[in-house]
């Protein structure tokens, strides 16, 4: 094992993070090679910086006119220059500031500086590199985003344990989640995606309290707990009783045996899907600055060994969006638009009552809602809706059909849903 990796592992010895590291996680480190040396030169090479593979003229990076013309609001240094491996510092600081604003109970000193990654998918994947591998398992919701299985099981060789988060009763089945966690021996790894994809559900305040208490009890019983908070749709809450803060807020200071990882970004929060940038933030009651630094260096090793860094223009565009005086009002307007669509869907579903074929899963947030299909295969229903009616939906296996109301104009919703109900009934 590389000596740099061994140094980081030594720093993490005796912590929940050190115990939860996968074999790959233990091997990861950030090399003192080109990137590290060029970083030193950037600070001290006052005469000439001949370290990095970029072309300059008179202190400015060379750039094609087409790029300059297409991004008139950005400087050449904000377009074509490599970003630092962990992300541009002002971008990381701005996201940390936003996290604290959105989650007032967060202690600014109690978690790592966010690390920039090329999308939330990459954030989940890099976190899996650190903490998942053959011989480990992770609890997911059933249904869940289909990429979890590809990342956790196929890429990392871990076992995915899908648990029905939504039972026969309304809301979150906290007891089922607790039972799944208790069944794990020694270490518990779980991903909590709220608002959930595909169900479109977030826990109420009471459900969040119950879930946090269950995790605390498990940690107090001697188990190490890794909780990944996939907060892709954070903030899109449409009911008053929903837990407004990310579960990361409480998990990051819950117990010395609970390591929380927040994976989020502007993808959905800022309606910037194609920018492909996200953040990884780590928090644990038992960790200090030196531990976070060690974990960030391991994350930097994962980034450096795959994509090297996240693209520069996306980071500066996110920063400009954050600083723009129009942003807040626009986000409020877009939120109101999505909430109205949600309310129309909720009304349409309520009007159909106890349908014999389509049973809606609980939904109160996010982009989606899903039906549990009874007596019909979701895939067959999806194909018929597409072929005969030109309506695109997503089937999750044979059981669940997801409808993204976020992408349907409000006036279309009643007709679209009526067609879905009619097709399911007549199939």
pLDDT tens-digit map of 50-72: 777 889 898 899 999 999 999 99
Tell me the pairing of strands 187-193 and 224-230: parallel
62 and 109 share one domain: no
| Residue 80: inside a domain | no
In 3D, which of 396, 391, 397 has the Cα closest to residue 418?
Answer: 391
| Residue 43: inside a domain | yes
Helix 289-304 with 120-131: angle, nearest 10 deg: 110
* Strand partners of residue 116: 279
What's the confidence (pLDDT) of residue 59?
85
What's the confidence (pLDDT) of residue 16?
98
Q: What band does 168 get if pLDDT is binned at 50, 70 and 90?
A: confident
Measure the CA–CA gap between 64 and 74, rounded to whole angstroms: 13
130 and 241 share one domain: yes
pLDDT tens-digit map of 135-166: 999 999 999 999 999 999 999 999 999 999 99
- Assess whether pLDDT exceeds 90 at residue 289: yes
| Residue 79: inside a domain | no
196 and 297 share one domain: yes
What's the confidence (pLDDT) of residue 170?
87
| Residue 101: inside a domain | yes
For the ranges 27-36, 207-216, 297-306, 391-400, the lowest mean pLDDT is seen at: 27-36
190 and 303 share one domain: yes
Residue 310 belongs to a domain with what CATH number? 3.40.640.10
66 and 106 share one domain: no
Measure the CA–CA gap between 219 and 225, rounded to whole angstroms: 7
Residue 339 belongs to a domain with what CATH number? 3.90.1150.10
Q: What band does 36 get if pLDDT is binned at 50, 70 and 90?
A: low
| Residue 237: inside a domain | yes
In 3D, which of 270, 359, 307 has the Cα closest to residue 117?
Answer: 307
| Residue 78: inside a domain | no
In 3D, which of 201, 183, 205, 182 has the Cα closest to residue 192?
Answer: 201
166 and 288 share one domain: yes
Measure the CA–CA gap between 399 and 393, rounded to whole angstroms: 13
49 and 197 share one domain: no
| Residue 339: inside a domain | yes
The residue from 323, 346, 376 where one domain ends is 323
Q: What band does 341 get if pLDDT is binned at 50, 70 and 90?
A: very high
234 and 219 share one domain: yes
Alpha-carbon dihedral 350, 352, 357, 359, rounded to 10 degrees? 0
Measure the CA–CA gap between 208 and 197, rounded to whole angstroms: 18
Note down the domain range covering 40. Answer: 36-73
| Residue 266: inside a domain | yes
60 and 122 share one domain: no
319 and 334 share one domain: no
> Stretch 260-283: mean pLDDT, rounded?
97
418 and 290 share one domain: no
pTM here?
0.95
What's the confidence (pLDDT) of residue 45?
60
What's the confidence (pLDDT) of residue 426?
80
52 and 17 share one domain: no
The residue from 50, 73, 96 where one domain ends is 73
Q: How many domains does the chain have?
A: 3
The residue from 323, 345, 370 where one domain ends is 323
* Strand partners of residue 402: 370, 394
């Amino acid at each position: 094992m590389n000596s740099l990796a061994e140094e980081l592992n030594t720093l993490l010895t005796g912590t929940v993070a050190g115990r939860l590291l996968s074999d790959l996680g233990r091997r990861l480190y950030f090399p003192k090679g080109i990137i590290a040396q060029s970083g030193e030169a950037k600070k001290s090479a006052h005469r000439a910086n001949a370290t990095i593979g970029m072309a300059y003229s008179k202190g400015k990076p060379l750039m094609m006119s087409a790029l300059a013309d297409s991004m008139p609001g950005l400087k050449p240094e904000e377009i074509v220059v490599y970003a630092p491996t962990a992300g541009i510092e002002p971008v990381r600081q701005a996201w940390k500031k936003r996290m604290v604003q959105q989650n007032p109970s967060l202690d600014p000193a109690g978690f790592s500086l966010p690390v920039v990654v090329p999308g939330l998918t990459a954030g989940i994947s890099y976190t899996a590199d650190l903490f998942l591998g053959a011989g480990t398992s992770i609890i997911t919701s059933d249904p869940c985003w289909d990429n979890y299985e590809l990342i956790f099981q196929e890429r990392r060789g871990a076992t995915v344990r899908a648990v029905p988060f939504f039972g026969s009763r309304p809301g979150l089945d906290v007891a089922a989640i607790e039972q799944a966690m208790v069944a794990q021996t020694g270490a518990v790894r779980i991903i909590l995606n709220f608002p959930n994809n595909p169900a479109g559900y977030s826990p109420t305040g009471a459900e969040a309290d119950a879930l946090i208490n269950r995790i605390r009890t498990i940690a107090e019983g001697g188990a190490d707990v890794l909780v990944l908070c996939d907060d892709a749709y954070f903030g899109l809450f449409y009911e008053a009783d929903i837990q407004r803060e990310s579960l990361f807020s409480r998990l990051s200071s819950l117990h010395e045996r609970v390591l929380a990882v927040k994976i989020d970004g502007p993808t959905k929060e800022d309606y910037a899907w194609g920018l492909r940038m996200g953040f990884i933030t780590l928090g644990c009651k038992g960790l200090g600055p030196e531990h976070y630094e060690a974990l960030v260096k391991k994350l930097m090793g994962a980034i450096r060994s795959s994509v090297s860094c996240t693209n520069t223009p996306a980071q500066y565009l996110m920063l400009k969006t954050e600083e723009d005086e129009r942003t807040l009002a626009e986000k409020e307007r877009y939120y109101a638009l999505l909430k109205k669509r949600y309310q129309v869907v909720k009304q349409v579903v309520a009007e159909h009552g106890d349908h014999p074929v389509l049973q809606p899963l609980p939904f109160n947030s996010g982009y989606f809602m899903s039906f549990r299909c009874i007596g019909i295969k979701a895939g067959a229903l999806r194909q018929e809706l597409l072929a005969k009616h030109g309506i695109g939906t997503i089937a999750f296996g044979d059981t669940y059909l997801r409808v993204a109301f976020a992408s349907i104009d409000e006036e279309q919703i009643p007709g679209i849903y009526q067609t879905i109900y009619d097709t399911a009934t007549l199939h």
